[in-house]
Structure 1
Amino acid sequence: MTEQNSDGKRNQKIRIITNLLTTALKIWLRAQVSQVSHIDVDIKASDRQLLSGKIPWVSIGASHAVYQGLHIGQIQLIAENIQVNIGSVIKGQPLKLLETVPVVGELIVEEKDLNNSLSSELLLTALNDVLVKLLPEHCAKTKSISWQKIILENHQIILSGILTSEGQSMPLDIYLGINLINGRELQLAPVLIKCDIVTPEQSNHEYTFDLGSEVDIQELTLIPGQLRCRGQINVNP
């Protein structure tokens, strides 16, 4: 009876720690986004691993999340070999990562999500980086650009905006074919730029973007109205 009681208390303690970790993970995830409609967290770990703050495997699913103004329809993540501050979590303090965690994931972004994200600093920075790459000789003269719409087609993104240059405003349409060269490099080709200040010769080039060593994209798919991405990214403490 004593042994059964001991096992029961131990199992109860493990359940409490699992619930604490699950709740802390959800709170931490919600703190990373300004809006999310649903989060699922599934933890797989032994009793000893949980008590030491080691989590061998975690699955995280979220829908309709907003991260720094960027709208994401669905995201599914799997992380392995996570080390967290379990002692602090048990005391009611926020969860923190103690080591860099490689996260494998898949996300789905709808065309409407991208258009709802046009005020996001993350997206605007990416779009302006593309513009600088495509039109370096004109960017010094360009005072501002107002991005109006993003259209997703098969293997192609269409960016539409209003460009203000030397006191004049004019429509700008950029047609970008997107190809995955390797895990960290994207190639923009073919490229077609429709704007009064751009000649046909200036718009017919190939461009490569390096996404950085923390990123490893395995699949990038563009279909009408939707972008799907699958790969790995390192999440630092």
Structure 2
Amino acid sequence: MLPASGWVSGVLSPAVALWLRSQLDHVDNLQIQITSKNQQLLRGQIPQVTLKADQAVYQGIHLSHGEITAQTIQINVGEMVKGKPFRLLAPVPVTGSVRLTVQDLQASLGSALLTQGLGEVIAQIIPPDIGLQLGAIAAPSRIVWETAILKPDGLQLQGQRTDGQGPRGIIFQSGLALANPQTLRLAPIQLTLGATPYPLPDFELDLG
């Protein structure tokens, strides 16, 4: 049997790289470091995988750089030795960091995944009394985000919202700060529809 280092470099790393590239729309540079021993590999267990990627695009969301560490990974090693593709057998806990520039954010505004996510966040932030005034303002199908402005301490998104009164300008702006490594705090927040500003309550977003 190949030593763990040979099996990892000759079989597992290329298989993981192929699988990751199949999940991404684009990536310029992908580096993979796998930590495991022979007995662990035979059981389909990988204690840790570290990934680094440059200029990655996932479902239309652009990232200049990302580093992710995944631990306690279960894979289909029995199938792989028979020529089957790499597959995860269970959800994988990950930690990491990403670098998102204003150019990345601007390029991502057309992403359905980002539009859906923004709509869900805004819907959670808007209190019921303001929600009654605005209607289903956060419905992704009604908003087209056009411009992103990203600052060290804040974010502003500008776009158009279509409703029964026709298209109207919409602006979402918020301060940004980490409450802790897993929580992003949005404050102060303001939503402007047409010429009317609506101050919104502070909000904490769980990053997982």
Pairwise TM-score range, normalised by the shorter structure: 0.7 to 0.9
2:108 aligned residue: 117
2:135 paired residue number: 139
Q: Do the aligned residues in 2 keep the contact of 1:158 with 1:176 (CA within 8 Å)?
A: yes
Alignment of 1:20-169 (within 5 A): 20-132=11-123, 133-134=125-126, 136-137=131-132, 138-140=134-136, 144-169=142-167
The answer to which of 91-100 and 109-118 deviates more is: 91-100
Is this contact kept in 1: 2:44–2:74, CA < 8 A? yes
**Which whole-Å CA distance do the structure 2 matches of 1:50 and 1:15 have between them?**
12
Quick check: 1:17–1:51 contact (8 Å CA) kept in 2?
no
170-179 or 80-89, larger mean C-alpha shift: 170-179
My pick for the range that moved more, 184-193 or 25-34, is 184-193
Give yes or no for contact 1:17–1:90 (8 Å, CA) kept in 2. Answer: no
Distance in 1 between residues matched to 2:151 and 2:114, nearest whole Å = 18
Are residue 189 (structure 1) and residue 187 (structure 2) matched?
yes
Query: Residues 173 and 123 from structure 1, CA distance in 2 versus in 1: closer, same or farther, beyond 3 angstroms?
Result: same
SS at match of 2:200: coil
For residues 2 and 145 of structure 2, the distance between their equivalents in structure 1, rounded to whole angstroms, comes to 56
Aligned-partner Cα distance in 2 for 1:206–1:70? 27
Gaps of 5+ in 1: 1-9, 217-237
Cα separation, 2, equivalents of 1:47 and 1:12: 7
Q: Higher Cα Rg: structure 1 or 2?
A: 1
Structure 2: any 5+ residue segments left out of the alignment?
A: none
Whole-angstrom distance in 2 between the partners of 1:25 and 1:131: 36
Task: Confirm whether residue 208 of structure 1 aligns to residue 208 of structure 2.
Answer: no
Seq. identity, % = 30
C-alpha displacement of 1:17: 5.2
User: Under a length normalisation based on structure 1, what TM-score does the superposition of the two structures give?
Assistant: 0.74
CA deviation after TM superposition for structure 1 residue 185, in Å: 4.7
Contact 1:187–1:206 (CA under 8 A) maintained in structure 2: no
Shift of residue 16, structure 1, vs aligned partner = 3.6
Q: CA RMSD in A?
A: 2.5
Q: How many residues align?
A: 201
Question: Which aligned segments of 4 or more residues in structure 1 are displaced greater than 6 angstroms?
Answer: none
